[in-house]
Chain A
Amino acid sequence: MAVKEGVGRPMDIITTRFGTLSVQSQDELLFEQGLIGLEDCRRWIVLTDSKNPSLGWLQSIEQGHIALGVVSPRRFVPDYQLRVDRDALSPLELSTLRDAEVAVIASRNSTGLTLNLRAPLVINVEKRRGCQVVAKDAHPIQFALNTPTVALKKTA
């Protein structure tokens, strides 16, 4: 079991990338419907990468081995525009769209690092709620980044 919980106290979660983390309930982000294909992962926390300030990690509270690298899309794609069905944002209970933050998930394929511009995460920071939405435009699911052509380290 990855989670030990005490009432009103910080809880420890055991993660494969970051070791044991102490999490307060006010740090949690709730994705009511999970993510697409990760529907059971509803509770998450956000960490900043220790070496790269552009990069955040969304760490699953329920599954210690699941974490997603996330970035602000406009930092990498300055003209990125997100259009979604208004209903798609209803789980966030946004009073105003200005409370919404958009993040996109980074991944890696055989050619290098990519960003999923088609299915970003939208977060209501104030209410600590998030959801993954599918953009109305046909943005790439694997937007290739200009990462150096140095061969990426093979993973174990």
Chain B
Amino acid sequence: MLVLSRQRDESIIIGDNVVITVVDVRGDKVKLGIDAPKEISVHRREVYEAIQRENRQAALLKPDDARLLDPGPGSTKSE
């Protein structure tokens, strides 16, 4: 992993079109600004990885497991 030190308002550029700027530093928390083309998604890593795991787990669901799915009485029809 490349490790760089940056102060507030300093930036790094990844490739030629992703720029990460340190917007604020307060105690333990660093606020980052990200400039990237809209085709490149940016997510907090732990959220992204949790969703990856969840998708892969969900891909194992069988029809019998899902039969118990029930919106319950009084649910509205889809809008």
Residues in chain A within 8 A of chain B (CB atoms): 17, 33, 35-38, 49, 51-52, 54-55, 57, 66-69, 71-72, 74-76, 78, 87-88, 90-91, 105-109, 112-113, 116, 118-119, 132, 134, 141-142, 145-148, 150, 152-153, 155
**Contact yes or no, B47 A108, CB < 8 A:** no
Q: Contact check: which of B38, B59, B69, B76 meets A66 at CB < 8 Å?
A: B59
17 additional A-B residue pairs with CB within 8 Å, beyond A67-B61, A147-B68: A36-B55, A54-B69, A54-B70, A54-B71, A69-B69, A71-B69, A75-B75, A91-B39, A107-B58, A109-B57, A113-B68, A116-B54, A134-B43, A141-B50, A152-B65, A153-B64, A155-B65
**Contact yes or no, A106 B51, CB < 8 A:** no
Residues from chain B with Cβ under 8 Å of A72 in the complex: 78
A55 to B62 CA separation, bound complex (whole angstroms): 12
* B interface residues, how many (CB within 8 angstroms): 34
A105 to B62 CA separation, bound complex (whole angstroms): 13
Output the least CB separation between B29 and chain A (Å). Answer: 17
Known: A54-B71, A78-B75, A107-B57. A36 touches B65 (CB 8 A): no
**Contact yes or no, A116 B67, CB < 8 A:** no
**Contact yes or no, A90 B38, CB < 8 A:** yes
**Contact yes or no, B48 A148, CB < 8 A:** no
**Contact yes or no, A106 B59, CB < 8 A:** no
| Complex: chain B residue closest to A76, CB-CB | B71
**Contact yes or no, A113 B48, CB < 8 A:** no
Q: Does B5 have its Cβ within 8 Å of any Cβ on chain A?
A: no
Q: Contact check: which of A33, A35, A71 meets B55 at CB < 8 Å?
A: A35
A112 to B22 CA separation, bound complex (whole angstroms): 42
**Contact yes or no, B51 A141, CB < 8 A:** yes
**Contact yes or no, A17 B78, CB < 8 A:** no
Residues from chain B with Cβ under 8 Å of A134 in the complex: 41, 43, 47-48, 51
Residues from chain B with Cβ under 8 Å of A57 in the complex: 63
Residues from chain B with Cβ under 8 Å of A145 in the complex: 69
